[in-house]
């Protein structure tokens, strides 16, 4: 199994080949979709993509952490984190890929 990274260029190329849009139009559509997802997450909305999964921003409280090297206590500020939860369809596809 070859490890590669799926990039915006790969998505645009797939759109170009499968839908038949120009390369520029394909890249613009990929950018538009990613921008829409980003904007929705920034305002705190959950993004659900059918048969793929959902993206959600969660608030994490501040806490005291510890530097593993020195053992020194370090304050960790409150922050927002992005959480991805895969759909059952995607999980089944991943788990049955080798069969």
Per residue in 67-92, pLDDT (tens digit) is 999 999 999 999 999 999 999 999 99
The 10s digit of each residue's pLDDT in 2-56 is 688 999 999 999 999 999 899 999 999 999 999 999 999 999 999 999 999 999 9
Whether 33 and 56 have beta carbons less than 8 Å apart is answered as no
Which residues on adjacent β-strands are paired with residue 75?
A: 64
Q: What is the pTM (predicted TM-score) of this model?
A: 0.80
Which residues on adjacent β-strands are paired with residue 73?
A: 66
Task: Kindly indicate the confidence band of residue 99, based on its pLDDT and cuts at 50, 70 and 90.
Answer: low
């Amino acid at each position: 199994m070859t490890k590669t990274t799926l990039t915006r260029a790969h998505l645009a190329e797939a759109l170009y080949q499968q839908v038949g849009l120009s390369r520029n139009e394909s890249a613009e559509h990929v950018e538009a979709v990613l921008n829409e997802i980003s904007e929705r997450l920034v305002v705190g909305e959950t993004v659900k993509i059918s048969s793929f999964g959902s993206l959600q921003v969660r608030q994490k409280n501040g806490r005291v952490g510890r530097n593993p090297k020195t053992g020194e206590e370090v304050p960790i500020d409150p922050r927002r984190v992005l959480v991805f939860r895969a759909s059952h369809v995607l999980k089944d596809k991943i788990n049955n890929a080798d069969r």
